[in-house]
Amino acid sequence: MDHRAPKTGKKPPLESTLLPQVPRSNYLHTQEEKQRLQLKKFLMNRMFLIGNIQAHTEKKDIADYYENVFQLISKHHLGETVTGLLLIYPTSILHILESSSGTLFRILLDYLDHKKGESEFLIQGLKIIVMSHNIPSRLFMQWHVSVINVPVMYLDDVTQSQSIEEVVTEFLTQIHKLGLHLFKSVKVGAKGPGDNLHQIAPELLIPEQIIKCLGKAEEFLDPETFIKMYNNPIHITLDSEVVWPAPTRFYV
C-alpha cells in the first residue's frame, strides 16, 4: 500500500512566507563597502570663527600662524586637509574651517596654548559662531586668505535694529553665498581671490560691524568653554535611579 499523504492542493501556511529573510552578502559587496570606507575616512565638519586682531599686528603673521598650525596637525591627522576662508579685516577676522572634528579641535587647542603662554597673542577674543557636523560636502576646495582693506562703516548699522538671531541668519546666508561664488569662480590650484575680494564681490562681504556685534554677544562660546563642554561626560539621571529602590517603612 502507498502510505504517502494524499495531495490536498493546500498552499503552505502564510506564516512561512512572512518569515524574515536573513540578508546575505557576497565578496563584491564586501569590496564595495571597503572602498566606500576608504574614500570617506572621516566625517566632515565646518566651523565658523570670529575674533579680534591685536593692535600693530601684521596681517601676514596671522596667515603664517594658521599655515604653520595646519602643517603641524597634518603630521598626526594624515589625509585630513583643511579648507576654508580667512578674511582679515582692519581690526577683526572671520574664519571658516572645514575638516575632521579632530583637526578642528587641535586648531582650537593650539590657539588656547598660545593664549595662555602669550599675554599679547595676535588673535584675541576668539568665538565659535557655528559648528556644523557631518556636512555632505566641502564649500571650499582650498584654504584661502583675503585681506579686506575697507574702512568700518558705521552708517546704517543694521545690528542696532535686528535681533541676534536675525544677525546670525544674515551672517550665515552671506557666507554661503560668498562660498558658492568662490566655488564657481576660483579654479582648483589657483591662489584664490587674494586681497581684491572687496572689489570682486563687495555685495557678498560681511560688514565688519556684524563681526563686532557677534563678538560681543554672550550666546556664543569661546574655545576654552567649547573644549570643556566637549570633554566633559554627559551625566543623565534616569527615573529608575530616583525612585528605585522604592522607599519602604517597616512597622513593628
Q: What pLDDT sits at residue 46?
A: 95
Tens digits of residue pLDDT in 157-215? 556 778 889 999 999 999 999 988 888 887 766 666 777 777 778 888 898 989 999 99
Nine cell digits for residue 21: 529573510
Q: What pLDDT sits at residue 39?
A: 46
Q: Are strands 83-88 and 92-99 parallel, antiparallel or unpaired?
A: antiparallel
Tens digits of residue pLDDT in 175-191? 999 988 888 887 766 66
Which domains are delineated in the chain? Answer: 42-227 (3.30.70.100)
Q: How far apart are alpha carbons 57 and 110 in whole angstroms?
A: 19
Q: What pLDDT sits at residue 71?
A: 92
Q: What pLDDT sits at residue 62?
A: 96
Low-confidence ranges of the chain (pLDDT < 50): 15, 19-20, 22, 35, 37-39, 154-156
Nine cell digits for residue 101: 572634528
Q: How far apart are alpha carbons 141 and 83 in whole angstroms?
A: 6
Q: Are strands 123-132 and 143-147 parallel, antiparallel or unpaired?
A: unpaired
pTM for the whole structure = 0.73
Q: What pLDDT sits at residue 233?
A: 63
Q: What pLDDT sits at residue 182?
A: 86
Q: How far apart are alpha carbons 237 and 252 in whole angstroms?
A: 35
Nine cell digits for residue 177: 553665498
